[in-house]
């Protein structure tokens, strides 16, 4: 490229700016932004071609595409300040993008507000870039306000505009406003696409509204928008997380009936769910089916199978799968090895677990925090505390930082050995480290159990207050620990009713009403009715939160049911609140949501659909 330019220069050829722009783009594809910058500086001096904003933007885009945002900003401010080049809308779009990618959203906003001074009117790309940057910096309200501003300025939002905002709101958990934006989207002539639906579905699955997610899937098809792998994968993963792997299997079968082939992500999610629900036969049948259907298992799928077999108490079958995996040229990762190690420990075969640890080293597989946690926990369970402490020291020496699971495993080992004071020292280290090492409920429950077993109930209660102050809520196991201690370790024995009643009030004082309501449920299950005042105050605050839309659901979602297969294979919506029956085959509805010749749906036709989306998501 350089030789061509030099030859053209010697021959006295006339250089045109568009020739340089072609070269700039070539440098971009070749990942050579420094060459583009260098050539831009030589345009006027060596080739007698004065650069304009077009060539300036071309170089700026090359640098930004390579992720060199600081360099792009230096280039922009240097050129605008020293050369006779006036930035246009594209220039501002690129520079605003650079500021947003650097996380300096205030500078992006400042530049955005300067555009009128340069006689530049923001376009839809400018607004989308600003909205995306604001959403990623958790400034959702400002991003949404730009939607009104752009329309006032005569700039019409696109599907991308709405999708950016809907994504931001869903990540924040504000599904109500996301639903309102979908309504607004229809009225502006923008039909939701698969990105819109996938975003909404992910938001619904994130808050556990799986029935509504499946119902929305039906309406997605009814609105002439075909689900893709991401759509189905999102719902399958959501169902699995709720312990509804059977429902997820039904959805998988329907997906295949529509001609879509599940990918490794969907299979691994479903396979893991079946194993976790102890559905060994269904899991192994799924494994056979996916191989029969031509899916070639990768390392992740094999690792999930090995982990599942170990959960089912079959580590030796899992070892055979590991050998098969290696024979097929796949390399086991840390998760593969740690799963099998855990299986061996569970089977009481410490020797094989330690051999596997050495095999990892021989195969240059780096021990991560999960591997160390499994090894420490396994050794502690076998009563080999000294060996576990040596592994802990080796872990710290290798530069691998322990997380909450690792700390909890070691604390559990100390408590099992009756060395609760040593466990508390490790706990204090956790508090000091913070971050991923911050104690969780499992850590606290281990210490509660250890302290109560050594008759130190007073210190256990002090630690309980510490847990509440740290923002960690108790569970049923926490309550059981204290109930057993009050029954077996106190003279005279207590039923724990007064303790739990006071516990509920402590949570209430900290405004943790959902946690308080769960303790009330536990008390009722144990036939320990709370005081009338306690019951009344918790119920009043929970109802108030639900009315204001700030509270979470008190009751847990059902663990089964929901999806049923009909005779023709349709998967009907799970919710019965929809004003009309839709099916995944895309049949017509009695509301007649048909597209006109322009590809848009009329307001009268889509109104029932809009109302349904709002009622379902709200």
Residues 219-227, mean pLDDT to the nearest whole number: 85
CA distance 12 to 495: 100
Alpha carbons within 13 angstroms on the beta-carbon side of residue 594 total 7
The answer, yes or no, to whether residue 547 has pLDDT greater than 60, is: no
Per-residue pLDDT at 4 = 66
Residues 206-225, mean pLDDT to the nearest whole number: 87
In a domain, 468, yes or no: yes
Label residue 186 by pLDDT band (50, 70, 90): confident
Residues 113-127, mean pLDDT to the nearest whole number: 96
Q: pLDDT per residue over 268-323, tens digit each?
A: 999 999 999 999 999 999 999 999 999 999 999 999 999 999 999 999 999 999 99
Residues 90-100, mean pLDDT to the nearest whole number: 98
Per-residue pLDDT at 223 = 79
Per-residue pLDDT at 558 = 33
Per-residue pLDDT at 9 = 64
Name the nearest CA neighbour of 244 among 561, 574, 556, 555.
561
In a domain, 143, yes or no: no
CA distance 424 to 415: 9
Residue 22 C-alpha from the chain's centroid? 41
Residues 448-472, mean pLDDT to the nearest whole number: 95
Per-residue pLDDT at 434 = 81
Label residue 377 by pLDDT band (50, 70, 90): very high
Please tell me the total count of domains within the chain.
1
CA distance 239 to 209: 9
Residues 185-192, mean pLDDT to the nearest whole number: 87
Alpha helices (H) in 48-123, listed in sequence order? 53-65, 69-82, 89-101, 105-114
List phi, psi (to 5°) of 209.
-90, 65
Per-residue pLDDT at 615 = 53
Residues 167-174, mean pLDDT to the nearest whole number: 94
Q: Three-state SS for 438?
A: coil
Structure tokens at 115: 């555009």
List phi, psi (to 5°) of 244.
-120, 55
Alpha carbons within 13 angstroms on the beta-carbon side of residue 170 total 25
Provide the domain limits for residue 536: 440-554
Per-residue pLDDT at 549 = 53
Give the lowest-confidence range in 196-210, 227-241, 276-290, 562-576.
562-576
Label residue 329 by pLDDT band (50, 70, 90): very high
Structure tokens at 616: 């379902």
Highest averaged pLDDT of the listed ranges 47-51, 145-149, 602-606 = 145-149
Label residue 156 by pLDDT band (50, 70, 90): very high
Give the lowest-confidence range in 26-30, 332-336, 445-449, 588-592.
588-592
The answer, yes or no, to whether residue 45 has pLDDT greater than 70, is: yes
The chain-wide mean pLDDT, for the chain, equals 86
The answer, yes or no, to whether residue 421 has pLDDT greater than 80, is: yes
pTM equals: 0.75
Q: Which residue has the tokens 């077993």?
A: 453
Residues 231-257, mean pLDDT to the nearest whole number: 93
CA distance 146 to 164: 12
Per-residue pLDDT at 172 = 92
What percent of the chain shows pLDDT beyond 70?
86
For CA atoms 152, 154, 155, 161, give the dihedral sign. positive
Name the nearest CA neighbour of 344 among 353, 356, 355, 334.
353
Number of residues assigned to the chain: 618
Higher pLDDT, 225 or 104: 104
In a domain, 234, yes or no: no
The answer, yes or no, to whether residue 507 has pLDDT greater than 70, is: yes
Residues 566-595, mean pLDDT to the nearest whole number: 34
Label residue 75 by pLDDT band (50, 70, 90): very high
In a domain, 530, yes or no: yes
In a domain, 497, yes or no: yes
**Under a CB-based contact definition with an 8 Å cutoff, are residues 353 and 378 in contact?**
yes
List, as one string, the DSSP characters of 526-559. Answer: TT-PPPHHHHHHHHHHHHHHHHHT-SPPSSPPPS
Q: How far is CA 483 from CA 416, 464, 505, in A?
A: 20, 14, 17
In a domain, 479, yes or no: yes
Q: What is the dihedral of CA 379, 383, 384, 385, to 10 degrees?
A: 90
Structure tokens at 89: 């809308």
The answer, yes or no, to whether residue 559 has pLDDT greater than 60, is: no
The answer, yes or no, to whether residue 441 has pLDDT greater than 50, is: yes
In a domain, 451, yes or no: yes
Environment class of residue 295 by beta-carbon count within 10 Å: exposed (0-12), middle (13-18) or buried (19+)?
middle
Q: How far apart are the first and last CA of the chain?
A: 59
Name the nearest CA neighbour of 195 among 169, 166, 155, 175.
166
Give the lowest-confidence range in 18-27, 283-292, 452-461, 544-553.
544-553
Per-residue pLDDT at 541 = 82
Per-residue pLDDT at 536 = 87
Label residue 92 by pLDDT band (50, 70, 90): very high
Neighbours of 383 (CB within 10 A): 12
Environment class of residue 139 by beta-carbon count within 10 Å: exposed (0-12), middle (13-18) or buried (19+)?
middle
Per-residue pLDDT at 552 = 45
Residues 399-423, mean pLDDT to the nearest whole number: 96
In a domain, 528, yes or no: yes
Neighbours of 519 (CB within 10 A): 27
**Under a CB-based contact definition with an 8 Å cutoff, are residues 575 and 616 in contact?**
yes
Per-residue pLDDT at 11 = 63
Higher pLDDT, 418 or 10: 418
């Amino acid at each position: 490229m350089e030789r061509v330019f030099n030859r053209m220069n010697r021959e006295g050829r006339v250089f045109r700016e568009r020739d340089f722009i072609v070269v700039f783009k070539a440098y971009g594809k070749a990942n050579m932004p420094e060459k583009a910058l260098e050539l831009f500086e030589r345009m006027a001096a060596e080739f007698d071609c004065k650069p304009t904003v077009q060539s300036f933007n071309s170089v700026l885009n090359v640098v930004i595409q390579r992720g060199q945002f600081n360099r792009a900003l230096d280039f922009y401010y240097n050129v605008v300040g020293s050369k006779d080049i006036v930035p246009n809308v594209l220039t501002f779009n690129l520079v605003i993008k650079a500021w947003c990618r650097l996380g300096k959203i205030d500078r992006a906003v400042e530049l955005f507000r300067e555009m009128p001074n340069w006689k530049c009117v923001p376009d839809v790309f400018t607004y989308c870039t600003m909205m995306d940057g604001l959403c990623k910096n958790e400034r959702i309200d400002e991003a949404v306000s730009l939607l009104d501003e752009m329309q006032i300025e005569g700039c019409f939002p696109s599907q991308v505009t709405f999708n950016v905002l809907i994504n931001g709101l869903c990540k924040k958990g504000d599904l109500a406003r996301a639903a309102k934006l979908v309504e607004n989207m229809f009225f502006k002539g923008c039909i939701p696409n698969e990105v819109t639906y996938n975003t909404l579905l992910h938001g619904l699955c994130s808050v556990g509204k799986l029935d509504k997610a499946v119902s929305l899937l039906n309406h997605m098809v009814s609105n002439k928008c075909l689900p893709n792998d991401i759509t189905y994968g999102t719902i399958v993963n959501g169902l699995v997380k709720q312990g509804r792997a059977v429902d997820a299997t039904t959805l998988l079968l329907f997906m295949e009936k529509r001609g879509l082939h599940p990918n490794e992500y969907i299979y691994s999610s479903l396979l893991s769910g079946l194993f976790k629900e102890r559905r060994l036969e269904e899991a192994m049948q799924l494994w056979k089916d996916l191989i029969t259907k031509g899916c070639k298992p990768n390392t992740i799928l094999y690792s999930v199978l090995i982990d599942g077999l170990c959960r089912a108490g079959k580590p030796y079958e899992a070892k055979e799968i590991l050998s098969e995996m290696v024979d097929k040229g796949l390399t086991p990762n840390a998760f593969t090895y740690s799963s099998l190690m855990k299986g061996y420990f569970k089977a009481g075969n410490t020797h094989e677990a330690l051999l596997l640890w050495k095999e990892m080293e021989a195969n240059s597989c780096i021990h991560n925090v999960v591997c160390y946690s499994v090894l420490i926990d396994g050794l502690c369970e076998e009563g080999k505390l000294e060996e576990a402490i040596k592994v802990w020291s080796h872990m710290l020496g290798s530069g691998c930082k322990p997380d909450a699971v690792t700390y909890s495993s070691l604390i559990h080992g100390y408590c099992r050995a009756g060395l609760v004071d040593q466990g508390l020292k490790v706990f204090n280290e956790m508090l000091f480290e913070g971050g991923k090492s911050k104690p969780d409920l499992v850590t606290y429950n281990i210490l509660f159990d250890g302290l109560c077993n050594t008759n130190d109930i007073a210190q256990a209660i002090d630690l309980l207050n510490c847990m509440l102050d740290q923002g960690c809520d108790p569970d049923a196991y926490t309550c059981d620990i204290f109930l057993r201690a009050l029954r077996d370790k106190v003279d005279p024995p207590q039923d724990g009713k007064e303790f739990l009643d006071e516990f509920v009030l402590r949570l209430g004082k900290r405004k943790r009403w959902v946690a308080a309501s769960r303790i009330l449920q536990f008390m009722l299950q144990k036939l320990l009715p709370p005081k009338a005042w306690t019951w009344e105050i918790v119920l009043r605050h929970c109802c108030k939160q639900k009315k204001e839309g700030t509270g979470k659901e008190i009751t847990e979602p059902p663990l089964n049911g929901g999806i049923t297969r009909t005779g023709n294979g349709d998967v009907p919506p799970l919710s019965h609140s929809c004003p009309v029956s839709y099916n995944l085959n895309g049949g017509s509805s009695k509301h007649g949501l048909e597209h006109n010749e322009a590809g848009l749906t009329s307001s009268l036709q889509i109104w029932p659909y809009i109302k349904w989306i709002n009622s379902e998501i709200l």
